[in-house]
């Protein structure tokens, strides 16, 4: 007796199209983003203003401890802009990765009741972090304009490209750890450790030239980190244009050799690889989410 084949256009239960389902269900994605924002600030007097507290406090602590006490600002011109330009990007990534890791477990009740493309939840977490990121960039822009920053087409394109790369990296790692976290809750603790390291593993508080001096040939490995290149591009686009001629000639303001010709394409390839691994892992593990949760 022959077995009937599934009709063309249908798929086996639990088998989706990955991130293509997110695009096809972008209306649901929009609803999830709204829901996440409302739930996060429900009953809060300050609401979304709380999203400025962490970067604001981080900036003050780092600037006082490093800029004033250790006199880093003496060797780094316009150090407040240098510092804040890195903090806003790193905070976007750390918030997005942390929330994406907990997104599946945090929405367990919804996942048990109805079927939605599971990828919607990590991607929605990254979008919520982007909502918090944009006002912080507006503040950074205002400060840079006060110090004489003049945007160019190339600087704007570089900023958009760096942000897109970091966002895709957050989605890829969020899919990976979000799926693994359903089976092993230790993943949350591992991600917390990674988040704690990100600020120090990228040139946010210090100059890339200091890392090159210490690491020597291993500096190339350091540069393969997409967050490192993303922060360096933010410095190139926001910080360097605020410096005058004498400051630009100083070694502290030197541009990373091959930043756009070499390191940006390489780290973009690393980001795509991470996204592919994250999506493949998520697709393999997501079929049993409802049972495991």
* 6: in domain: no
User: pTM of the prediction?
Assistant: 0.88
- Which one has a higher pLDDT value, 192 or 10? 192
Tell me which residue range forms the domain holding 211.
Answer: 19-40+47-286
In the prediction, which pLDDT does 94 show? 94
Q: What is the total count of domains within the chain?
A: 1
* 204: in domain: yes
* 28: in domain: yes
Would you state the structure tokens that stand for residue 102, as one six-digit string? 């907990």
* 127: in domain: yes
* 12: in domain: no
What CA–CA distance (Å, rounded) separates 54 from 60? 10
What is the phi-psi region of residue 4: left when phi exceeds 0, alpha when psi lies from -120 to 50, beta otherwise?
beta
Confidence band for 161, pLDDT divided at 50, 70 and 90: very high
* 180: in domain: yes
> Which range among 27-31, 43-47, 59-63, 150-154 shows the weakest confidence by mean pLDDT?
43-47
């Amino acid at each position: 007796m022959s077995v009937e084949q599934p009709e063309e256009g249908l798929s086996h239960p639990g088998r989706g199209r990955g991130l293509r389902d997110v695009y096809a269900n972008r209306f649901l994605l929009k609803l999830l983003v709204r829901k996440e924002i409302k739930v996060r600030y429900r009953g809060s007097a300050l609401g979304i203003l709380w999203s400025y507290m962490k970067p604001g406090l981080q900036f003050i602590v780092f600037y006082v401890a490093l800029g004033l006490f250790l006199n880093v600002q003496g060797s780094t011109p316009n150090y407040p802009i240098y510092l804040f330009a890195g903090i806003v990007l790193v905070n976007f990534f750390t918030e997005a990765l942390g929330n994406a890791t907990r997104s599946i477990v945090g929405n367990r009740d919804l996942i048990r009741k109805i079927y939605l493309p599971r990828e919607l939840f990590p991607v929605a977490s990254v979008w919520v972090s982007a909502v918090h990121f944009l006002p912080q960039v507006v503040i950074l822009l205002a400060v840079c304009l006060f110090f004489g920053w003049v945007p160019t087409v190339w600087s704007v394109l570089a900023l958009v490209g760096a942000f897109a790369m970091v966002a895709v990296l957050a989605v890829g790692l969020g899919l990976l750890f979000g799926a693994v976290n359903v089976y092993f809750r230790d993943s949350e603790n591992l991600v917390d450790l990674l988040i704690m390291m990100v600020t120090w593993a990228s040139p946010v508080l210090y100059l890339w030239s200091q890392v090159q001096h210490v690491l020597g040939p291993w500096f190339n490995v350091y540069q393969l980190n997409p967050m490192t290149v993303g922060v360096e591009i933010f410095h190139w686009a926001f910080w360097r244009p605020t410096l005058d001629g004498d400051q630009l000639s100083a070694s502290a303001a030197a541009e990373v050799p091959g930043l756009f010709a070499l390191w940006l394409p390489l780290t973009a390839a690393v980001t795509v690889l991470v996204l592919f691994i994250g999506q493949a892992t998520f697709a393999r593990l997501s079929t049993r989410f409802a049972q495991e949760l």
